[in-house]
Amino acid sequence: MKIALGIVLVAGLATVASAQLSTAGPGRAADGGFGNRVTNYSWDDGTAENSVGLTAGGNIAGINFFSVTGGDNVITSVDVAWGSPAFPAAGPALIGLPVNYYVWANVGAGTNPSGANSVLLFSGTGSINAANVANDTFQSFAVPNIAIAGASFFVGVDVVHPAGTFPIAVDQTAPTFAGASWAGGGASFNPNAVGFGGGPALDLAALGLGNWMIRANAVPTPGALALLGMGGLVIGRRRR
């Protein structure tokens, strides 16, 4: 039986851990127009044990917090896994559902995107691809090279879905990461004032639901690459 946000308020706490993954992940769909990456920001291990939605249907938003690592601060795409191989019969109902996807700056003191803690930098639209449902592959949504000015950021998606469907894949294998994955939405979702229902966003791991299989791909700023190239030329001249 799938777990939905509508029935998780009595769930226990999940294991708390402290590090994000920054690796090239498992199978993905073909990149979008801006799909190049040096770093693949992720909290998941590539395998969905479950998927999460709203019991009665509605607008579910999944949001992940990441810290910029290695200077890779230009977001080129958002990747999402839909459904879970553990529940393949539920997958077909997700195909074609409209999706909004987002990049936010983190302007708060912590990792919570609620309210004024996040500032929307980009939003795009798409739909759930049949090739990426209930099979642990990631659908890539192109982002037009959005630069993160600060030390951390959020990416996410929201989907309006009917009752009995559970769109966004979650990794529930320990360790799970508290303060990293957040749920928003309810009857509607406002990316300019993130929250769940009439309150703040919910910490997915603290509800015992694991972490969203939502990733961000990033590269360094073009200016940083240019400076590296210039530095190489200067060094070469000095060696002569």
- pLDDT above 90 as % of the chain: 72
User: Do 184 and 195 contact (CB within 8 A), yes or no?
Assistant: yes
Q: CB within 8 A of 157, min separation 6: which ones?
A: 61, 62, 78, 80, 99, 100, 101, 102, 141, 168, 214
- The span from the CA of 113 to the CA of 184, in Å, is 9
Q: Provide the pLDDT for residue 223.
A: 59
Q: Provide the pLDDT for residue 222.
A: 73
What DSSP designation does 224 have? Answer: H
Confidence tier at 3 by pLDDT (50, 70, 90): very low
Confidence tier at 5 by pLDDT (50, 70, 90): low
Q: Provide the pLDDT for residue 7.
A: 28
What DSSP designation does 111 have? Answer: S
Q: How far, CA to CA in Å, does 162 sit from each of 27, 40, 58, 125, 165?
A: 28, 31, 6, 19, 6
Q: Provide the pLDDT for residue 37.
A: 56
Total number of domains in the chain: 1
What DSSP designation does 228 have? Answer: H
Q: What is the mean pLDDT of residues 174-188?
A: 95
Q: Provide the pLDDT for residue 165.
A: 92
User: Among the listed ranges 7-11, 18-22, 29-33, which one has the minimum average pLDDT value?
Assistant: 7-11
Q: Does residue 22 register a pLDDT over 50?
A: no
List of E strands, the chain: 21-22, 39-42, 50-52, 58-67, 74-80, 98-106, 118-127, 139-147, 152-161, 168-171, 181-186, 202-203, 211-212, 214-219
Q: Provide the pLDDT for residue 229.
A: 38
For residue 218, the enclosing domain spans 5-239
Q: How many CB atoms lie within 10 A of CB 225?
A: 12
User: Among the listed ranges 5-19, 46-60, 75-89, 179-193, which one has the minimum average pLDDT value?
Assistant: 5-19
Going by C-alpha positions, the residue among 223, 228, 191, 214 that lies closest to residue 74 is 223
Helices and strands, counts by H and E, the chain:
1, 14
Q: Does residue 1 register a pLDDT over 70?
A: no
Q: CB within 8 A of 190, min separation 6: which ones?
A: none
Q: Does residue 27 register a pLDDT over 50?
A: no
pTM: 0.83
